[in-house]
Structure 1
């Protein structure tokens, strides 16, 4: 199962979409945009799991596709 995550950057001025918790793929200005993109990637690569982290890097939500 592939693992995807949406995490804030150091200053919480942008949001990264990460695959398998390695180097971030893309940086987005808005959290909602990053979540939408990560969701799209996760759905295309089923089975997969998406974790959405808050500004404190704590898991806020977890979705499975």
Structure 2
């Protein structure tokens, strides 16, 4: 199962979408846009899981596809 995560950058000025918690794919200005992109990637690579973090880097939600 592939794992994707949405997490803030160091200054919480943007949001990264990461694959397998290794390398970020892109940096987005808005959290909602980053979540949409992570879900899109997860749906294309089923089975997958998306982990969404808050500003404190704590997991607030997980979605499975």
- TM-score, scaled relative to structure 1: 0.98
Runs of at least 4 residues off by over 6 Å:
none
Question: Per the alignment, in what secondary structure is the counterpart of residue 26 of structure 2?
Answer: strand
Distance in 1 separating the partners of 2:9 and 2:63: 21
Distance in 1 separating the partners of 2:52 and 2:4: 9
C-alpha displacement of 1:23: 1.2
Alpha-carbon RMSD: 0.4
Where do 5+ consecutive residues of structure 1 fail to align? none
